[in-house]
Structure 1
Amino acid sequence: MTIFGPLGLSLAPAIRKNRSVYAWVKPVADWYANVSGYRKVGLKYDDLLVEERPDVQRALGRLTEREAYDRQFRFRRASQASVLHDDIPKEEWIKPEEDVRYLKPHVQSVVAEDQERWKWDNIEVKRTR
């Protein structure tokens, strides 16, 4: 299974191409991201990926030292906010423009490598005469 669902399909590219659909979906998506509350405790979207997945585990190993440190800092700060049953100060919330997908490119490359490895491992050699 990939990060795009069991079939590897995503509607996001089609929505981004169609301006009228994008104009309708974008406010709903922004509202949902704000309501979910992960930015209020200092987390980014990629921090929510399930770490137990093998592809995410391998992608985490590809982060730079700074990215790995920042990720751990965000988790500790969110954990402390959870213990206190409070959000972090509003000026420290993750802004939408800061919420970039830092882990997604690594996960995609791991998935692509796994698919390529599977193709090479299951190659069919046909003998011609």
Structure 2
Amino acid sequence: MTRYMSLAPYVAKRPWLMSFMKPLSEWYINAAGYRKLGLRADDLIIEENEDVIKALKRLPPQESYDRVFRIRRAFQASATHQLLPKEEWTKPEEDVPYLSPILEAIKAEDDEKKALDSVTIVRSH
């Protein structure tokens, strides 16, 4: 999984910067258009990564079904060059992470495993 730097903690600690960035982020999310296709942000995570495949296997069955439904519906809407009716758009309060927390847990598990695998035992005489 590719690691990237996030400015979110820096922005969150500065109210003046947060007040500037919040409308900008809402504009960007709206401009991206994925909510108009009924998708959630975590639906956009590419499945070609080993960690993502592990995370998808850990999803509850209903969440997994809902993800597949949203992706298929969005693909159909995209293929017909139409947006969903406005009442079917994803609302901001519905666009909560469901896959990202699992990915973070998998990364933490991998980091812990690497740390434990690299432990060296030194015998004292």
TM-score, length of structure 1 as denominator length: 0.91
Name 1:27's counterpart in structure 2: 23
Name 1:51's counterpart in structure 2: 47
Taking the aligned partners of 2:63 and 2:9, their CA distance within structure 1 comes to 27
Q: Which runs of 5+ in 1 are unaligned?
A: none
- The structure richer in helix per residue is 2
Task: Within 5 Å, give how 1:1-129 maps onto structure 2.
Answer: 1-2=1-2, 4-5=3-4, 9-129=5-125
In structure 1, give the amino acid aligned to 2:105: S
Question: How big is the alpha-carbon RMSD for the aligned residues of Structure 1 and Structure 2?
Answer: 1.2
Per-residue deviation at 1:37?
Answer: 0.7
Taking the aligned partners of 1:79 and 1:42, their CA distance within structure 2 comes to 10
In structure 2, give the amino acid aligned to 1:109: A
TM-score, length of structure 2 as denominator length: 0.94
Q: Which runs of 5+ in 2 are unaligned?
A: none
Which deviates more, 9-18 or 21-30?
9-18
Taking the aligned partners of 1:115 and 1:128, their CA distance within structure 2 comes to 28
Aligned residues between the structures: 125
Per-residue deviation at 1:14?
Answer: 2.1
